A and B are shown apart, each in its own frame.
Chain A
Amino acid sequence: MKARLKIRRGGAYERFEVPFEPGQTVLDGLRWIRAQRDPSLAIRFSCINANACKECMMRVDGKTVYACTTRLAEGEMTLEPLPNKKLVKDLVTEIAPPDERLK
């Protein structure tokens, strides 16, 4: 099966075709893109699949979700960074508590 991920990168959107098996997640798809298509794509995650670190939060089709627990689906899915946080790059936003930032 194939999902088409429409990813907001700065001011524009970029589309990637991602092959997947049922059960795989948006984070699996993003990691596949980085290894197979474009390593410059910036994403934030730590625990990969366990929903423990809570770092991979983003907007998928307008809803705020964790990429690691959202399943890939056939057709187009729109991925955007969190709208209420300062954008760092691509899907990465500034989510660290203010007193844990460098400045």
Chain B
Amino acid sequence: MRLQADVLVVGSGAAGMYAAIAAARAGAEVLLVDRSLIGRGGATVMAQMTVAVAVGEEEPDHWEHHLADTLKAGRGLCDPALSQLLCEEGPACIREMDAWGVGWARRDGHLAQVHAPGHDRKRCVYVDFLNTGPAVSKTLRARVQRIGEIRRVGELLVHELAVRDGGCVGAHAMHVSSGESISIAAKATILATGGLTRLYARNSASVNMGGDGYALALRAGAELVDMEFVQFFPIGHLAPRLVGMDPIMWDPFRYKLGGRLLNSEMKEFLPEAGRYVSARDVATSGILKEVAASRGSPHGGVWLSFQHCSEAVLREAFGPVIERLAANGIDLTRQPVEVAPIAHYHMGGVRVDRDMQTGLPQLFAAGEAVGGANGANRLSGNAITEAVAFGRRAGERAAALAARMSLVSPKPHSWARPWEGKINPAAEIVRLQAVMNEHVGPLRARNGLERALSSITDLAPVCAELEAPRAGLDPEWVDMQDLRNMRLVAECVIRAALERTESRGAHQREDFPETSEAWQRHLTHRA
């Protein structure tokens, strides 16, 4: 079966949906595809936290202040043009979504903004209670549904970009529930596939964040940048087991209520005094050092306590969320919880210019799939701003390019060989995630990285080529394509982490603890 469009958008988180809206608004016929259901998978729907944007409603602000904070947090490695785009275009997107009814929290008639770590003032908008991501997803989804020029197709897994004459002419996809191969012809293609947090056993994203876009871009001839910088969210929930809630939910609790991070001696070990001020890279390494010094909590993290808050204060701040905690057996007035770093976001990604154009003509990227805007460490609240600002820009530019191009049919796709299924790919994914978690986490050293590289390299032969899917829904084939992409992307992360013999932001080398001026440069990957 064949599909075609002026602009193909791969991925339907905030970046993909905003790109689709912007491209359609600029006159393009858009095909929006997702391997999961439209607007349900990906990272956006999981975001329970805040959105950093210089709308200046809580106190005077300007995007240049937001930019200064973003560059500072990026530890010298931001691509300033991309960071500027994020900060400068963010306000218009946030206001546009406000007009679309997203429901940003308000106080005294203006948008409520809270102060998040690393920001110089109250800058972060949100939707109560812990509902920012779901509200953004739902709003964009409703918008996309109303635009006739956008065709939406879920359960369509893009496994290869189609390249002809040195440009991207669409993609090859598999319809997951039927097993049918689909070829898509497009004048311009936008990758909005998110990051790579699924490479880690402990992660805060959905199952389709296995670095698909990076692998697609790399194999098609585009360039990746800053792959060693994986952000670990410092206070991901660890214990007791919590279900039905995003493990990064303690972030908004800390914005509103402070909270104290405590070691096994019930002492604060970061210079916070109950305030939420530590940057993510600093808090992550602080926690891991307490654990390494045997001052961690029973499950290998640290304690987070809100015992200074009365039940009335908790209920006012988080309403029904307190009931959901109670259903999980957690009473914050009586007990601290255990938290530990969790893979959360990837600063690196596909290298693009200010127009979101990759190194491969007619191929664009948007959102977390893009590398560079956040350097070596992302400021809290910048991820959704990046998704919407970059999505909008990519949609506009892709539509403008598509208007000048003609449709070219992708060459037919041929599979290397029929399915043989020599390994259990689901088991191999679990193994890869364990290796990455153990050796390629926030604290790294040569020995561990080399061990991880050798383990990943062992998988290369079985991942070299994708075998043909069988008829119908074939979960093993889906796992195999995921393993193949995850392996390739993991190798990029490990090789860059080995090469960067310094510590900077989210990349902390135990054997090279200092930041080196000579390393204020980017590592890139090409196939």
Chain B residue contacts of A31, Cβ below 8 A: 426
Are B45 and A100 interface neighbours, CB within 8 A?
A: no
Contact with B along A20-43 (1 / 0, CB 8 A): 011111000001001110011111
Residue of B177, B207, B246, B430 with most partner-chain A CB within 10 A:
B177
Contact of B424 among A39, A47, A101 (CB under 8 A): A39
A21 to B424 Cα, complex, angstroms: 24
Chain A residue contacts of B208, Cβ below 8 A: 46
**How many cross-chain pairs have Cβ atoms below 8 Å apart between A and B?**
112
A88 to B243 Cα, complex, angstroms: 27
Contact with A along B391-430 (1 / 0, CB 8 A): 0000000000000000000000000000000001111011
Are B41 and A102 interface neighbours, CB within 8 A?
A: no
In the complex, whether A12 has a CB less than 8 A from a CB of chain B is no
In the complex, the chain B residue whose C-beta lies closest to that of A99 is: B152
A25 to B241 Cα, complex, angstroms: 10
In the complex, whether B46 has a CB less than 8 A from a CB of chain A is yes
Closest Cβ–Cβ distance, residue A49 to chain B (whole Å)? 6
In the complex, whether A48 has a CB less than 8 A from a CB of chain B is yes
Interface range, A side: 35 or more
Are A96 and B37 interface neighbours, CB within 8 A?
A: yes
In the complex, the chain A residue whose C-beta lies closest to that of B133 is: A52
Closest Cβ–Cβ distance, residue A42 to chain B (whole Å)? 5
Closest Cβ–Cβ distance, residue A12 to chain B (whole Å)? 17
Number of interface residues of B (CB under 8 A): 42
Interface class of chain B by DSSP: loop
Are B177 and A92 interface neighbours, CB within 8 A?
A: yes
Are B40 and A49 interface neighbours, CB within 8 A?
A: no
Chain B residue contacts of A96, Cβ below 8 A: 37-38, 154-155
Contact of A46 among B207, B245, B429 (CB under 8 A): B207
Are A35 and B430 interface neighbours, CB within 8 A?
A: yes
Closest Cβ–Cβ distance, residue B243 to chain A (whole Å)? 5
Chain A residue contacts of B241, Cβ below 8 A: 21-24
Residue of A21, A22, A51 with most partner-chain B CB within 10 A:
A51
Chain B residue contacts of A52, Cβ below 8 A: 45-46, 133-134, 206, 246
Chain A residue contacts of B476, Cβ below 8 A: 39-40
Closest Cβ–Cβ distance, residue A55 to chain B (whole Å)? 6
Contact of A88 among B42, B152, B177 (CB under 8 A): B177
Closest Cβ–Cβ distance, residue A43 to chain B (whole Å)? 8
Knowing A53-B36, A102-B182, say if A69 contacts B426 (CB, 8 Å).
Answer: no
A48 to B178 Cα, complex, angstroms: 23
In the complex, the chain A residue whose C-beta lies closest to that of B145 is: A99
A41 to B425 Cα, complex, angstroms: 12
In the complex, whether B475 has a CB less than 8 A from a CB of chain A is yes
Chain A residue contacts of B155, Cβ below 8 A: 96, 101-102
Are A100 and B46 interface neighbours, CB within 8 A?
A: no
Are B427 and A101 interface neighbours, CB within 8 A?
A: no
In the complex, whether A54 has a CB less than 8 A from a CB of chain B is yes
Knowing A102-B153, A102-B156, say if A49 contacts B247 (CB, 8 Å).
Answer: yes
Closest Cβ–Cβ distance, residue B31 to chain A (whole Å)? 11
Knowing A55-B37, A92-B177, say if A101 contacts B153 (CB, 8 Å).
Answer: yes
Enumerate A7-28 residues with CB–CB distance to B below 8 Å. Answer: 21-25
Chain B residue contacts of A94, Cβ below 8 A: 177
In the complex, whether B472 has a CB less than 8 A from a CB of chain A is yes
Chain B residue contacts of A82, Cβ below 8 A: none
Are B473 and A100 interface neighbours, CB within 8 A?
A: no
Are A68 and B243 interface neighbours, CB within 8 A?
A: yes
In the complex, whether B244 has a CB less than 8 A from a CB of chain A is yes
Are B36 and A55 interface neighbours, CB within 8 A?
A: yes
Knowing A34-B426, A36-B427, A92-B473, say if A71 contacts B243 (CB, 8 Å).
Answer: yes
Are A102 and B175 interface neighbours, CB within 8 A?
A: yes
Chain A residue contacts of B27, Cβ below 8 A: none
Chain A residue contacts of B424, Cβ below 8 A: 35, 39
Chain B residue contacts of A42, Cβ below 8 A: 473, 475
Enumerate B435-493 residues with CB–CB distance to A below 8 Å. Answer: 472-473, 475-476, 479
Are A88 and B153 interface neighbours, CB within 8 A?
A: no
Closest Cβ–Cβ distance, residue A65 to chain B (whole Å)? 11
Contact with A along B40-69 (1 / 0, CB 8 A): 111001100000000000000000000000
Chain A residue contacts of B182, Cβ below 8 A: 102
Enumerate A89-103 residues with CB–CB distance to B below 8 Å. Answer: 89, 92, 94-97, 99-102
Beyond the given pairs A43-B475, A102-B182, 12 more chain A to chain B contacts, judged by CB atoms under 8 angstroms and listed by A's residue number, are A39-B427, A39-B475, A41-B475, A46-B42, A49-B243, A49-B244, A52-B46, A71-B243, A92-B473, A100-B37, A100-B38, A100-B152
Report A's interface with B, CB cutoff 8 A. Answer: 21-25, 31, 34-36, 39-43, 45-55, 66, 68-69, 71, 88-89, 92, 94-97, 99-102
Some 24 contacts from A to B, beta carbons below 8 A apart, are A25-B243, A35-B424, A35-B426, A35-B427, A39-B426, A43-B475, A47-B41, A49-B244, A51-B243, A51-B245, A53-B40, A53-B206, A55-B37, A68-B243, A69-B243, A88-B177, A89-B472, A94-B177, A95-B37, A96-B154, A97-B38, A100-B152, A100-B153, A100-B154
Q: Sort A-B residue pairs by CB-CB distance and give the 8 closest, nearest first.
A: A23-B241, A51-B244, A46-B41, A69-B244, A50-B246, A89-B473, A39-B426, A34-B426
